[in-house]
Structure 1
Amino acid sequence: MTHETPAHERALAFSRAAHAYAAHRPEYPAAAFDVLEELAGLRLAGARVADVGTGTGLAARALRERGARVIGVEPGAGMAARFRRDLPDVPLVRGDGNRLPLADGSLDLVGYAQSWHWTDPARAVPSALRVLRPGGALALLWNDPDPSVEWVAEQQERIVGRFGDGCYISDRTLPPGLPWRTRELRWSRRISVGFHLAKLATHSAFIVHDGDGAAEFLAAERTHLLRRFPDGTLDEPYVSLVAVAVSPGTRD
């Protein structure tokens, strides 16, 4: 019998929001994949890549557009169904980052885009290293709201006050013992207040607490935001983190 962690159960809860996630979550900036190639020392074009915790395929799509031979790995049924609808030509297997259902030494790159914080690093690191070829790369990507921006920090404080710590900005702790190279990128997108709130509703705090004050919170948040942004639009700021560790061994 497999014992799943609360984090794993929360990750699976995203299946309930698969369509909203696909519609409202931001794409990764193109520069993030330039940085990934630089830090990993490889070209994505032609590379064998697994996008683990792929969700609806936001990163998988970008990787494929770079010419990578991508396979998605996803535990959630709802997310997997949306992935298959949007990316029917990209292979997808059901599984999670703690026990990858992939062959030993079969990949040039294993990526966890906005999904590493759902894993147990003690299991996920050995699993990732097992499926990488010698000299392959483990890449972790995050795309989070930028807490250095005043209105985002104020919003985060309100969310934490309502739903508790750790419910908004992802845990970006890197597992020890690997030669990590990192880079941060700041960027923003111009959207409506309504679109921002729909995106906010796809964060784990609102999915897990659906029906437990989430709707009321979002209604109050609309009032806060329209007071600050009376024209109904805002620049939604992000900070993307790219972290890469190259596995031991000689490249092919």
Structure 2
Amino acid sequence: MTSVSRALSFSTAAAQYAANRPSYPPVLFDAIEEITGRPLAGARVADVGAGTGIATALLHERGAEVIAVEPGDGMAAEFRRALPEVPIVLGDGNALPLADLSRDLITYAQSWHWTDTSRSVPEALRVLRPGGALALWWNTGAPDVPWAVAQDERVAHWSGLRPQDRRRPDDSSAGRLAGLAGLPHTRRLLRWSRTVPLGTHLANITSHSAFLVLDEARTQEFLVEERELLGEVFPDGMVEETYVVDLLVMTKP
């Protein structure tokens, strides 16, 4: 299964994605404003790999003049249903359908890893105005939550993938892995959590690409086993999910 196939698999589960994926904390957008030295209100922003609009909606609420870029038809349809007032165009970060020097900020929420950085970095630099910024972020699992680490191992077993590595590279390595080596960038790690019903947590887990490309019967087997195991950890049926947002901001010279 190629990375492109995994990326496009989200379109088949757009409603599930929109209903159950975690959002992002206000401190994330505060940090972007602090690092870039300008408010989001009034900024011309492109949210790339926007999906169903989880991050786009928050940028819009902060007053940004935002346009979404999304490659998947299913995700774009869910986006239009949820955010009819926000423009969205089909496209991806490797060939942005945006004019040169047209944006103050380009954001990638959970989507930069689907790009070819040899193409997406030059594309961002082409579209950003001088002094503009590229902001990349991921909701990553907190490394010090034992039940979640154990769940990563079970997910890996069921999906046939390697367990999630919750150890984070240092700042210089993070920039290199993101294709930003040699470019001025700043990193922040921002911890936050949400408490959701067990059903929402499980729907969130199975909205990831590892399960979207898995046989439905095997996914159901996982859900039966996982519901029983987590019921012992969270007998009240409410799951506290703890995240660390890994944020990288690159400023165009």
Give the TM-score, by structure 1 length. Answer: 0.92
Moved over 4 A (4+): 166-172
Which of 177, 180, 188 is the matching residue for 2:182? 177
The equivalent residue for 2:225 is: 220
Deviates more, 1:134-143 or 1:36-45: 36-45
Counterpart amino acid of residue 174 in structure 1: A
2: distance between equivalents of 1:153 and 1:28? 21
User: What does the per-residue CA deviation read over 1:146-165, in whole Å, with 9 as the maximum and x for residues that have no partner?
Assistant: 23211110000111122234
User: What does the per-residue CA deviation read over 1:12-39, in whole Å, with 9 as the maximum and x for residues that have no partner?
Assistant: 1100110011111111101100001111
Any gaps of 5 or more consecutive residues in structure 2?
169-173
The aligned runs of 1:112-191 (5 Å cut-off) are 112-165=108-161, 173-175=177-179, 176-191=181-196
Q: Report if the CA contact (8 A) 2:153-2:163 is conserved.
A: no
Deviates more, 1:165-174 or 1:155-164: 165-174
Q: CA deviation at 1:227?
A: 1.4
The equivalent residue for 1:65 is: 61
Aligned length: 244
Q: 1:74 to 1:185 in 2, by over 3 A?
A: same
Fraction of identical pairs, as percent:
56
2: distance between equivalents of 1:225 and 1:135? 47
Counterpart amino acid of residue 94 in structure 2: N
The equivalent residue for 1:89 is: 85
Q: CA deviation at 1:145?
A: 2.7
Give the TM-score, by structure 2 length. Answer: 0.92
Q: 1:88 to 1:240 in 2, by over 3 A?
A: same
Q: Secondary structure at the match of 1:31?
A: helix
Q: CA deviation at 1:87?
A: 0.6
Q: Secondary structure at the match of 1:224?
A: helix
Q: CA deviation at 1:137?
A: 0.2
Q: Secondary structure at the match of 2:216?
A: coil
Which of 222, 225, 234 is the matching residue for 1:229? 234
The equivalent residue for 2:247 is: 242
Q: 1:92 to 1:209 in 2, by over 3 A?
A: same
Any gaps of 5 or more consecutive residues in structure 1?
none
Q: 1:50 to 1:145 in 2, by over 3 A?
A: same
2: distance between equivalents of 1:166 and 1:75? 27
